[in-house]
Amino acid sequence: MAEAAAHHESPIPYMVQPHPVTGIPNGKFGIWLFLASEVMLFGALFSSYVLIRTGAPHWPPEGGLTSEIVNVPLGTLNTAVLITSSITMVLSWASCKMGSLPRFKLWMAATIGLASVFLVIKYFEYKHKFDLGHFPSHDNFYAIYFTLTGLHGLHIIGGIIVNTFLLTAGSKMWTTDPEHFTNRVENAGLYWHFVDLVWIFLFPSLYLL
């Protein structure tokens, strides 16, 4: 009985070492499957956007240029902020690989801070549009704009939550299993880079074209 209990309480296998079938740890395999579903989600939304835009007699519906409706300077600033946050995310993982928890915490805190800056800038963009009476129900452009950027913003919030856990309570694993903790940071980084990549597509599609 004791042997069975010990076996039941053992950690999930292949969380650090590569699985013999997939060639990667289970955690990384799981995050890749999750990201595949995210690609399908955003792919469907982007496809809907293309179909609506190509089928519209003129775009945006209220006339003029897209760049005259959205705030291109703020969108550009947010792009720079998010790209920088991907760099700090890589540095936080690299700090774990080099065995430095203090440096990990420094770069992870920077990643969370930059993500928060992104959301603050987006808040001012949204507030300005709401003040002008431009809501998702205004026309197809704003329906698409708020759907895509709003969903992306929710992913930013999700990333902040995960990264904050790794920075605080989750970092306790460093003292017991640093390699497993490093893998967790890497998996969180894969998600964060995906969020960054989505914005790289969103920015030119909604702000420049």
Counting runs of H as helices and runs of E as strands, what totals does the chain give?
8, 0
Distance CA 70, CA 209 (A): 11
91: tokens are 């540095």
Mean pLDDT of 99-112: 98
Domain count, the chain: 1
CATH of the domain at 54: 1.20.120.80
Predicted local confidence at residue 62, as pLDDT? 76
Is residue 67 predicted with pLDDT exceeding 80? no
**N-to-C CA span, the chain:** 66
> pLDDT tens, 137-182?
988 999 999 999 999 999 999 999 999 999 999 999 999 999 999 9
Q: Which domain covers residue 30, as residue numbers? A: 2-208
Residue 65 backbone dihedrals phi, psi, to 5 degrees: -110, 150
Q: Transcribe 103-169 into DSSP letters.
A: HHHHHHHHHHHHHHHHHHHHHHHHHHHHHTT--TTS-HHHHHHHHHHHHHHHHHHHHHHHHHHHHTG
Predicted local confidence at residue 10, as pLDDT? 40
> pLDDT tens, 21-59?
777 888 889 999 999 999 999 999 999 999 999 988 888
For residues 14, 15, 17 and 20, what is the CA-based torsion angle, rounded to 10 degrees? 30
